[in-house]
Amino acid sequence: DARVTQTPRHKVTEMGQEVTMRCQPILGHNTVFWYRQTMMQGLELLAYFRNRAPLDDSGMPKDRFSAEMPDATLATLKIQPSEPRDSAVYFCASGLVGGDRVGNQPQHFGDGTRLSIL
């Protein structure tokens, strides 16, 4: 079965350090999503890309977070500088979406990066 692959699975670092999370979407999927999951807030959409172009990053703190897709097989989410409140599980998901209606198809999730900022 095709899968979304995320690395690293776990990351522990100190406040102020740069954190980069990577995602390999399912081959052929044209839309990539980044989510953050916490106990308090649940699952929040941070940003998503269509055909590698950023479509919406309104859920992301702009001053410290950035998301890119250097090529069709790699999406990255970067936090610089990191803060303790960024501790969460970060999920990447991909899907094959037609048109602008990103919610009309299933999304396929990776197993996440569990991030702890000390």
Binding site for other proteins (CB under 8 A): 4, 42-43, 45, 48, 56, 91, 93, 100-112
> Is residue 8 reached through a cis peptide bond, with omega within 30 degrees of 0 on the bond before it?
yes
Q: Which is nearer to other proteins, 14 or 42 (CB)?
A: 42
Residue 20 CB, shortest distance to other proteins, in Å, is 19
Q: Which tokens belong to 100? A: 């602008």
Q: Which is nearer to other proteins, 82 or 95 (CB)?
A: 95
Cβ burial of 118 (10 Å; 0-12, 13-18, 19+) is exposed
Residue 45 CB, shortest distance to other proteins, in Å, is 6
Residue 15 CB, shortest distance to other proteins, in Å, is 25
Sign (positive or negative) of CA dihedral 91, 96, 98, 104:
negative
Q: Which is nearer to other proteins, 18 or 111 (CB)?
A: 111
Q: How many Å apart are CA 15 and CA 99, to the nearest integer? A: 40
